[in-house]
């Protein structure tokens, strides 16, 4: 079915090696690669991209775009650091970090547009390619809802296998920061986090989060957050999540990271709506789980 046959504000185009949906609605613009269902641009009319996109991002088959919102699924992060029930479904060697969804081809499953907003759905059906590293099976569907004031993503996992399924996952949102040292996240005060840079020790967040170099933490809650990035204020709310990953590579990891300029760590951060670590989700046969986030932006009072 051609979901775009009567679309007024969306068209399929090609960027590098990737098929990309370009959305040019009078109220907002968005760009989304079908590989990974990877949104890398969202800008209400008259505004800049709300998402950070690396100036050295590459649009290649089998390679995740550095920036935007990669979908980490059906496991998050280093496979070896995943909880037992997730690890027990993994197989083979050289298992990729963050699962396979971010480099897999998704297909368009729904499209709706009005004068105010636009909704897109994409699905990732289980395929033989996934069996290389994953013994389980599941169907993933993501819905993007764009409006002039907010961006909402809903990622639904359906266990369509016959046994139990365990997943970790994240909507790995990259945001631009005009200066990382002026950037703060509030809402996580008092929350326990695992400091992955210090033997995954649990620590307590004292006051707002700020950045002074490499930061890689799994917060064990997903409260409403306000992210102040120097010139912008974002609000992030989550559903179906009890964990939030906060990441900035800092200067040393920046040099080792693919498709990432050495100094880019000073102008971005990631706040990832997750089901990570102890917040992994177990689904019985036929069961569904939705992980969702809404991002909005506030004007600074002048
Ligand atoms: O380089 P990638 O595989 O895209 O991962 C980028 C980053 O993702 C997450 O935020 C992890 O917590 C980090 O440890 C990782 O470095």
Residue 276 maps to a domain? yes
CA gap 287, 159 in Å, rounded: 6
Residue closest via CA to ligand 1's atom 2 equals 97
Decide if 272 is catalytic: yes
Choice among 172, 189, 214, 231 that is catalytic: 172
Which of 38, 54, 77 should be mutated for ligand 1, with most atoms under 8 A from CB?
A: 77
CA gap 98, 114 in Å, rounded: 34
Sign of CA dihedral 70, 75, 76, 78: negative
Residue 5 maps to a domain? no
Residue 34 maps to a domain? no
Residue closest via CA to ligand 1's atom 8 equals 77
pLDDT tens digits along 196-240: 999 999 999 999 999 999 999 999 999 999 999 988 999 999 999
Question: Cβ(73)–Cβ(136) under 8 Å?
Answer: no
Residue 78 maps to a domain? yes
Residue 191 maps to a domain? yes
Decide if 132 is catalytic: no
Residue that has been written with the tokens 């819905």 in this structure: 143
Mean pLDDT throughout 2-23?
96
pLDDT tens digits along 180-201: 999 999 999 999 999 999 999 9
Greater confidence (244 vs 299) lies with: 244
- For residue 274, what is the domain's CATH number? 2.70.98.10
User: What domain range is 230 assigned to?
Assistant: 71-298
Asked if the model's pLDDT at residue 299 lies above 80, the reply is no
Asked if the model's pLDDT at residue 1 lies above 70, the reply is no
Dihedral angle at the C-alpha atoms of 103, 279, 198, 68, nearest 10 degrees? Answer: 30
Domain count of the chain?
A: 1
Alpha helices (runs of H) in the chain, residue ranges in sequence order: 84-87, 250-256
CA gap 228, 182 in Å, rounded: 8
What pLDDT was estimated at residue 301? 64
Residue 121 maps to a domain? yes
When the pLDDT of each residue in the chain is averaged and rounded to a whole number, the result is 96
ipTM of the complex: 0.98
Mean pLDDT throughout 144-166?
97
| Ligand 1 touching residue 197 (CB < 6 A) | no
What pLDDT was estimated at residue 128? 74
Q: Which residues are bridge partners to 256 per DSSP?
A: none
Chain Cα centroid distance, residue 261: 20
Residue 47 maps to a domain? no
pLDDT tens digits along 44-63: 999 999 999 999 999 999 99
Residue 242 maps to a domain? yes
């Amino acid at each position: 079915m051609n979901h775009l046959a009567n679309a007024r504000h969306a068209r399929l185009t090609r960027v590098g090696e990737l098929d990309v949906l370009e959305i040019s609605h009078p109220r907002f613009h968005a760009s989304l690669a079908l590989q990974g269902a990877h949104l890398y641009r969202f800008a209400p009319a008259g505004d800049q991209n709300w998402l950070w996109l690396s100036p050295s991002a590459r649009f290649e088959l089998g390679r995740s775009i550095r920036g935007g919102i990669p979908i980490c699924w059906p496991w998050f992060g280093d496979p070896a650091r995943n909880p037992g029930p997730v690890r027990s479904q993994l197989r083979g060697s050289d298992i990729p970090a963050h699962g396979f969804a971010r480099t897999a081809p998704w297909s368009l499953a729904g499209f709706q547009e009005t004068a105010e907003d636009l909704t897109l759905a994409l699905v990732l059906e289980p395929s033989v390619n996934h069996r290389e590293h994953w013994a389980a099976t599941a169907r993933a569907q993501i819905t993007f809802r764009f409006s002039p004031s907010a961006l909402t993503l809903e990622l639904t996992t359906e266990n369509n296998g016959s046994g139990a399924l365990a997943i970790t996952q994240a909507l790995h949102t990259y945001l631009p920061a005009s200066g990382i040292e002026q950037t703060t996240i509030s809402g996580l005060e008092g929350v326990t986090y695992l400091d992955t840079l210090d033997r995954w020790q649990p620590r307590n967040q004292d006051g707002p989060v700020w950045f002074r170099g490499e930061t890689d933490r799994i917060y064990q809650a997903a409260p409403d957050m306000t992210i102040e990035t120097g010139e912008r204020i974002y609000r992030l709310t989550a559903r179906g999540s009890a964990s939030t990953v906060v990441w900035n590579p800092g200067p040393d990891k920046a040099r080792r990271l693919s498709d990432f300029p050495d100094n880019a760590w000073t102008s971005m951060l990631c706040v990832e709506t997750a089901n990570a670590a102890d917040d992994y989700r177990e689904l019985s046969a036929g069961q569904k789980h939705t992980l969702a986030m809404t991002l909005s932006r506030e004007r600074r009072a002048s």
